[in-house]
Amino acid sequence: MQDRFGRQISYLRISVTDRCNLRCLYCMPEEGVAFQPHSEVLRYEEIVRLAQVAVGLGITRLRLTGGEPLVRRDVVDLVRALSHLPGVEEVALTTNATLLAEYARPLKEAGLARVNVSLDSLRPERYREITRGGDLSRVWAGIAAAEEAGLSPIKVNAVIVRGLNDDELEDFVRLAAERNLHVRFIELMALGESARWQPRGYVPSAELKERLAGLLARSPLQKGEGGLPGAGPAEYYQVSPGGTVGFISPVSNHFCQSCNRLRLTAVGTLRPCLLSEREVDVKSALRRGADEAELRRLFLQAVEIKPGKQELPQCCPELGAQGEAAASGEGGAGGGRERKGRLMSQIGG
């Protein structure tokens, strides 16, 4: 699939649940959220059918997200079904790893290629504070199980917030070097609960690189170097023969021009951009008996309304005015519905 800006769309992120076993400060309010009733969440057979349609249109890579995908029962069966679809080159998963020790081996045997682990602190007490009760030892057990099962390369994602965890940068670099992991520092976005931390909590990637200059390779890796699959937005630096540190900069250095993804939410909407409210409802069509042609049309509609650049405001003063409408063709061509106020856990990240 190609959108109206010439981008090839080949990657589908699938949120299998809006539920999570953690309550991270920048992701979910302390009291939690009203989770969707089971009847509103896509069934596995519905996810597989929609994935088949997507693959028929050119999607080759699938990633399962949540909430926390491992809290949903029988997720291994879903991985097995998706990994056996003709045309799927890779199924990956993003997890907080607290349940990964139990699932790593079955997931690998079902066809999962690799995992990304969300981890914002290496200090047990601080991790417990950020996650509102999480146990860091369970994360380490999950990462060890993933390494043993061959779910590699393992990427560790850390959202950096000034005054919260930005004093752990060197510790994360040492982790990458000593464990041959791929640590990625992610800029805080003004989305959902994280907006409360803007602008005081925002740390641009340029500042992180400057603070870590003595620990990073002299120049960033080129695409395909360092043993890293995929064509994601991170800029990587080698820190050991098998370890890298990457920077993902959705605020200070938009990578919209190379974005290759769609998102399927747990409640059955296609979201063409994380930082846009545009969505296309595919669940309703699916449940009223839509045929292949209609489902393909809805996927193509989602691609058609994919914006050229970010549409939500960002609260970072050095960036100037933000929140412009998408370039050439603002305002939802193709009839995508506006959906306000989803949290990151409800979108799928």
For residue 221, give the DSSP letter.
Answer: P
- Rounded Cα distance between 51 and 48, Å, is 5
Q: Tell me: the pLDDT tens digits for 207-246?
A: 999 999 999 987 898 766 665 655 578 899 999 999 999 9
Grouping H, G, I as helix, E, B as strand and the rest as coil, residue 157 is strand
Q: Tell me: the pLDDT tens digits for 303-323?
A: 999 998 876 554 444 443 333
Assess whether pLDDT exceeds 80 at residue 148: yes
Q: Where are the domains of the chain?
A: 11-256
pTM of the predicted protein model: 0.88
Q: Tell me: the pLDDT tens digits for 50-73?
A: 999 999 999 999 999 999 999 999
- Tokens linked to 203: 């740390």
Token pair 């959202």: residue: 159
Q: Tell me: the pLDDT tens digits for 173-191?
A: 999 999 999 999 999 986 6
User: Could you tell me what percent of the chain has a pLDDT over 70?
Assistant: 83
Residue 254 pLDDT: 78
Lowest mean pLDDT among 23-32, 136-145, 191-200, 302-311: 191-200
Q: Tell me: the pLDDT tens digits for 75-126?
A: 999 999 999 999 999 999 999 999 999 999 999 999 999 999 999 999 999 9
- Tokens linked to 291: 């045929």
- Tokens linked to 251: 């605020």
How many angstroms separate the first and last alpha carbons of the chain? Answer: 22
Q: Which CATH number fits domain 11-256: 3.30.420.40, 3.30.450.20, 3.40.50.300, 3.20.20.70?
A: 3.20.20.70
